[in-house]
Amino acid sequence: MHTLSFVRRAAEMAEQAHLDFLFRADSLFLNPQALASSPGFSSTDPTVQLAALAAVTERIGLVTTASSTFYDPYLLARQLMSLHWMSEGRAGWNLVTSLDGAENFSQQSMPTAEARYDRAESFLQLVRQLWETYPAEAVTVDRQAGRYADPGLIRSMPEPLGEFDVAGPLTVPQHPAGSPPIFQAGASERGREFAAVHADAVFASAPTLQEAAGLRAELRARAERAGRTPEAVRLLPGLVLVLAETAEQAQDIHEAGKEPISDSARIARLSRVIGADLSDLELAQRIPESVLQKISQTPRSRTHQQLVLRLIRAEQPTLRELLRSPVGSPSAHWQVVGTPAQAATEIGRWQDAGAIDGVVALPSGSWRSVELFCREVIPQLVAEGRFRSDYTGTTLADHLGLHLPREPGADRR
């Protein structure tokens, strides 16, 4: 699964379905215990993998994940612009602040979530400034006059930003298509504000339609308050798809693919997510208010903790129901287990309810899910007029519709 041939097959199918982009999440931390039953977070570097895929695809976007907590901004600005060149304007950056990995970067512990967002603010601004230091128009290449570029068009960097003091310019010019679009993941109060002000798209965990609709409405309102149009920020929840020809087959694949861990291990994991001990509760018991009073104010992931708490408050599930629901899984994503027709219907229902701008499809369980998503779900969405039947542009910004219409206040970003 770490070879190019493995991912190339999926990339080609996705491109034949005219999907906007390939998306690679990433972790800079590996738990050896998790490897016993699954690949866990084993993976090749996403930007290197997408650069290889750039050479064997033509139109599909390539969105890589990079952590503003651990990367160096100059190196990352250069890598992303390089991917943009290698793919002729198809690169995108999913900016994450990360939950783990400090020990791999000579740090004693993870900085607080707020400190990570503080760094993310200056990091993103710096990367954007670096991309502009060497504008595409500076390169004139006039052999007769013996000129390569116009040094007068190279921009110097403004003042130091936050903890960063980077002189620039970048060694690679900006691609004529502009800079890579920005994706973001992390939906705490601070994460939502960050996304609303800076991001073109948000990769979210939204296990229910209500959750997605609420998040989308909030992001749009916050974007407007920040001087952008509501459409400037697109909500793309993760959608885990376990697909088969019949609903029963899909259910069987889903059951067979379930994590082989005990209920007590699941309870321990959920306890860590909300930051309160659930181990004394019976499976048939609802979560008492006394437990909710004791939850951690500094959980590992505020996004995941709040998803669980909102579900408890809205539906009062038993502990068993909570463990079986998507929020009981590590990713807390929306899930569809069924036929391609059922998946297309669900996507249409969420779209009609104004809950999503698209999805980050996560076909799971078997290769068949990838094939059925690309060859049956997408054609059904095209037939219903919900998705385009061919690419209308060549860059990721084109696929996302970023050029139309120009948002007011873009210069404030």
Ligand X SMILES: Cc1cc2nc3c(=O)[nH]c(=O)nc-3n(C[C@H](O)[C@H](O)[C@H](O)COP(=O)(O)O)c2cc1C
Binding site residues, ligand X, CB under 6 A: 25-27, 65, 67, 96-99, 113, 185-188, 190-191, 203-205, 238, 301-303
Q: For the chain, what is the radius of gyration of the CA atoms?
A: 22
The residue number with the shortest CB distance to ligand X is 191
CB of 184 to ligand X, least distance (A): 8
Residues 6+ apart with CB under 8 A from 352: none
Judge contact between 50 and 58, C-beta under 8 A.
Answer: no
- Amino acid making up residue 135: P
Q: Which residues pair with 237 in a beta bridge?
A: 204
Burial degree of 264 (CB within 10 A; 0-12, 13-18, 19+):
exposed
Task: Look up residue 377 and give its DSSP letter.
Answer: I
Q: Identify the CA nearest to 336 among candidates 209, 248, 247, 241.
A: 241
Closer to ligand X at the Cβ: 89 or 358? 358
Nearer to ligand X, 304 or 399 (CB): 304
Tokens of 45: 């570097």
Residue closer to ligand X by CB (options 154, 217) is: 217
Structure tokens at 227: 């001087």
CB of 97 to ligand X, least distance (A): 4
Shortest distance (Å) from residue 219 CB to ligand X: 13
Q: Which is nearer to ligand X, 65 or 174 (CB)?
A: 65
> To the nearest whole angstrom, how small is the minimum distance from the Cβ of residue 82 to ligand X?
21
The conformational region for residue 160 under phi > 0 = left, psi -120 to 50 = alpha, else beta, is beta
- C-beta of 336: minimal distance to ligand X in Å? 17
By beta-carbon proximity to ligand X, the closer residue of 25 and 244 is 25
Closest CB 368 distance from ligand X, rounded Å:
25
How far apart CA 396 and CA 17 sit, in angstroms, is 15
* Helix (H), strand (E), coil (C) string for 122-146: HHHHHHHHHHHHCCHHHEEEECCCC
Beta carbon nearer to ligand X, 23 or 373:
23
